[in-house]
Amino acid sequence: MNPYLQLSGVNKTFGDFTALDRIDLDIEQGEFVTFLGPSGSGKTTTLMIIAGFEDATRGAITIGGHSLAGLAPQERNIGIVFQNYALFPHKTAAENVYFPLQMRGVKKAAGLAKAEEMLDLVGLKGFAHRYPKELSGGQQQRVALARALVFEPDLLLLDEPLGALDKNLREQMQIEIKRIQKRLGVTTIFVTHDQTEAMSMSDRIVVFSDGNIEQAGAPLDIYHRPSTRFVADFIGESNLLDAVVTDAEARVAECPALGSVVFGAEGQPPVVDGQEVALLIRPEHLKLSRDPKEGRMNAKMVIDTIVNYGDNALVIGHRGDTQIRVRVPGADVVILKEGEECHFSWTEDAAFVLDR
Ligand SMILES: Nc1ncnc2c1ncn2[C@@H]1O[C@H](COP(=O)(O)OP(=O)(O)OP(=O)(O)O)[C@@H](O)[C@H]1O
Ligand SMILES: [Mg+2]
């Protein structure tokens, strides 16, 4: 594998605070990679270092095998969109998009023509002569995106570009950004702390925690095979129950909350007898019923709370001291009531174990 963008041992300290511990990351050409992680975990700092607005304390970054060391931001050929990366208010949409071309010595007529082409691509045909204040939030973000792409950057960096938009517009822009990125084939890093956004948009997700990369992988890999408890908790909802492996060969663990459980999920990393693990079963893999379900593992719980979302419901219950969360399709929940005892059931392939 020949990585296009390569971060090797990137470390960043502010005084005695370590913002990035030791970041090693390879990104392929044309890949859409999302940085996901809680506030303060180092996502923006990593982008700032790649873009050249911050220097790494240690470590190296290369694009296409060439070191970025010593290059100023404008010498890096990187397109950037930040959440509040404001447009020039006194320039029209087309002039805003032309600006980076102007900086690169492109003549006005040719540059504005190219800018209009870019505005078409982001869905703003006919908006070239509007000023930013005459555009909606979503339209302004499209102009910012066009401005970041117009000079055919080697790399596109998007730091929570959709944070200020309402839900519908946000979803629309997610689809648009993916479409444009695919069409241009530009290597892209997208930062978000919205996990559904990360799941739906990315070729690969990089999960940050406390200045470290917890896990990097394809969205479904990360979802179904989290490598740490932090990732299991952070991505999606989870039931994480303490257990001890009693028969590694047969994949059996003893779980105080559920008894003997077979963990048969695909791609299960190896474990050893006696290993203390966390047993992961996603809430949507549990079914609720009045009677035990044949052909499935069953246990009883008491329902404490039902939260209705319309198309689905989250049922929170307990079994002894253990809280159990179940996602059920909206229509299924009507037969169940808070305070009621019921069965929850799962199949072996829904159970996965990870290090505690
Ligand atoms: N210039 C600075 N001086 C001191 N500390 C900083 C500086 N910039 C960032 N930090 C710290 O580095 C850590 C990582 O910050 P960063 O902005 O990368 O987080 P983030 O993952 O982007 O978070 P968010 O999701 O809130 O945007 C934080 O604890 C932050 O306070
Ligand atoms: Mg940030």
CA 57 – ligand 2 centroid, Å = 19
Distance, CA of 40 to CA of 43 (rounded, Å): 8
pLDDT tens track for 292-321: 999 999 999 999 999 998 889 999 999 999
**pLDDT tens digit string along 145-195?**
999 999 999 999 999 988 877 888 888 889 989 999 999 999 999 999 888
Name the residue at shortest CA distance from atom 18 of ligand 1: 42
- Å from CA of 42 to ligand 2 middle: 7
Task: Please spell the DSSP secondary structure of 25-84, one letter per residue.
Answer: EEE-TT-EEEEE--TTSSHHHHHHHHHTSS--SEEEEEETTEE-TT--GGGS-EEEEETT
Residues flanking ion ligand 2, Cβ below 5 Å: 44
Three-state secondary structure along 211-250?
Answer: CEEEEEECHHHHHHCCCCHHHHHHCCCCEEEEEEEEECCC
Query: How close is the Cα of 191 to the center of ligand 2, in Å?
Result: 8
SS3 325: strand
Ligand 1 atom 22: residue of nearest CA: 44
Q: How far apart are CA 144 and CA 70, in angstroms?
A: 26
pLDDT digits (tens, 9 = 90+) for 249-298: 999 999 999 999 999 999 999 999 999 999 999 999 999 999 999 999 99
pTM recorded for the entire structure? 0.91
Give CATH 2.40.50.140 domain extents, the chain: 237-355
**Rounded CA separation 145/158 (Å):** 9
Query: 210-237, pLDDT tens digit by residue?
Result: 999 999 999 999 999 999 999 999 998 9
Query: Is the CB of residue 231 less than 8 Å from the CB of residue 222?
Result: yes
Q: Ligand 1: residues whose CB is within 6 Å?
A: 14, 17, 19, 37, 39-45, 193
Residue of 18, 20, 21, 39 best suited for mutating to test ligand 1, as the one with most atoms within 8 Å of CB:
39
User: 237-355 maps to which CATH number?
Assistant: 2.40.50.140
Q: Ligand 1 centre and the CA of 19: distance in Å?
A: 7
Bridge partners for 25 per DSSP: 7
CATH H-level, domain 5-229: superfamily: P-loop containing nucleotide triphosphate hydrolases (3.40.50.300)
Question: Residue 335 has what pLDDT?
Answer: 78
If residue 114 lies in a helix (H) or strand (E), which one and from where to where?
Answer: helix 108-121
Which residues are CB-contacts of 86 (< 8 A; sequence separation ≥ 6)? 132
Contacts 24+ apart (CB under 8 A), 210-217: 210/21, 210/41, 210/42, 211/12, 211/18, 211/19, 211/20, 211/21, 211/23, 211/41, 211/42, 212/21, 212/22, 212/23, 212/42, 213/23, 213/24, 213/25, 214/37, 216/25
Residue 85 pLDDT grade (very low, low, confident, very high; cuts 50, 70, 90): low
The CATH 3.40.50.300 domain(s) of the chain lie at: 5-229
